[in-house]
A and B are shown apart, each in its own frame.
Chain A
């Protein structure tokens, strides 16, 4: 059997700087970031104020998704909205439209969804509210322990189940009538890269001719509180990866849909090909959830495995898109891995970091940034690394400072996420 090649034939970005390919690209060209201050109230009490990259005026009905299908989701959720899911639906629809897939039944299509913590916020707020009401209303004492447990279960069951992957996978496959092998993956911020590799393997194993990968993240109070607690939220209010003034992250709303396809299948139907997915490298630290294992060679190993899988030499890579979270320790861990493989201040390698535009969109970040790479290849331009003009010399890196015309052939996207699920993938323009 011939060895299948996998290409990318559709993209669907949803971000704070633009939804859909054109708006997203213009947002990048216009150096936008759309950071807004958010005040989280519980009743009339202010809980926290924080800045984040915010999507505004999002309406799930504006993407041309079958309204009856959306009604089914609403019925299941008894009217409760979940932006994590809505973003996934929108990004899948945009990717299908961009890939010129009108009727999914005409093709063998699979789906790989990913999210870092889907549905956590509606679940958390609901359960907190319920617990508060019951305790204040003294219902707990009146009900007795068993009945308290029973009422609690009944009240939050839908939100509780929706924290898991499978109902969301179901909603998306049902909405777009996707019937082939489908999966929900969760590898923290590297989820998008694991999703692409999974999609590639599904195609290579001849389970599907096309696989849509989609990731999303809706910013919320819980993520802010967690990141602030562990000291990685930016006090200065914007992200500046690898810079002298780097002090952490801002979260951001975002989603990305990327369509992978068997190369011959894409050619046969005359699809536009953004790039070939050459392969990925993955290496797990198995150390801590929130702290990288400084001193290990895990990240370097992920990068080297990607090169090996793709049969690409270090010298052949034009652009490296870093994870770039703007936290000194993580930036240091990342720059060490980069310079170990590519050398200090590599001359012929353009290094980029995009979170200054989008914030950290967590599980969505790697795939959303992959879309930037694909659009750079398509438009023959390299996008500047926003807020990275004053790089800390200890990193021994130079980042792309100005958006400019550029012929880009081979790009590596890397990611060193929570839990040490290190990943790297390679893309090549045909």
Chain B
């Protein structure tokens, strides 16, 4: 899956899970500080990421996913590992 597709899919997913304005989701916008996502919603996003991309996000990675760029990078890495 190409990076652009991952970004597009992730944004779609984010809008579905947290009902956020898509224009607010820029690469470095912080989920907690800039988009108003709380720590519970952040975990719910991980649940959705795993389902949508059929990957495993490790427990310790979950708190580290706080921006779109971090999420996309984690998804890319997991997809690469899965397909290796």
> Are A and B co-members of a single complex?
yes
The answer for the CA separation of A293 and B63 in the assembled complex, in Å, is 14
Does B44 touch A at the CB level, under 8 Å?
yes
Contact with B along A301-338 (1 / 0, CB 8 A): 00000000000000000000000000011001100000
CB distance from B48 to the nearest CB of A (A): 8
Cβ–Cβ < 8 Å partners of B41 in chain A: 294
Q: Which residues of B contact A290 (CB under 8 A)?
A: 59
Complex CA gap A230/B59 in Å reads 9
Interface of A is mostly: loop
- Asked if residues A292 and B59 are in contact (CB atoms below 8 Å), the reply is no
Q: In the complex, which residue of chain B has the Cβ closest to the Cβ of A328?
A: B39
Does B4 belong to the interface (CB within 8 Å)?
Answer: no
Additional pairs, 7, CB under 8 Å, beyond known A230-B59, A290-B59, A291-B43: A291-B59, A291-B62, A293-B43, A293-B47, A294-B40, A296-B47, A329-B40
How big is chain B's contact interface, by range? 10 to 19
User: Does A295 contact B47, Cβ atoms closer than 8 Å?
Assistant: yes
Smallest Cβ distance from B14 to chain A, in angstroms? 14
Q: How far is the CB of A292 from chain B (nearest CB, A)?
A: 7
Q: A-B contact count, CB below 8 Å?
A: 33
What separation, in Å, do the CA atoms of A296 and B46 have in the docked complex?
Answer: 12
Q: Are B47 and A329 in contact (CB under 8 A)?
A: no
Closest to B58 in A: A288
Q: Which of B1-52 contact A (CB under 8 A)?
A: 38-41, 43-44, 46-47
A328-B39, A329-B39 given as contacts; is B59 within 8 A of A294 (CB)? no
Q: Among the listed B43, B60, B63, which residue makes an inter-chain contact with A294, where contact means beta carbons less than 8 Å apart?
A: B43
Contact A289 B43 (CB under 8 A): no
Q: Are B59 and A288 in contact (CB under 8 A)?
A: yes
Q: Is A343's CB within 8 Å of the partner chain B?
A: no
Closest residue of B by beta carbon distance from A289: B59
Q: Does A231 count as interface, using CB distance less than 8 angstroms? A: yes
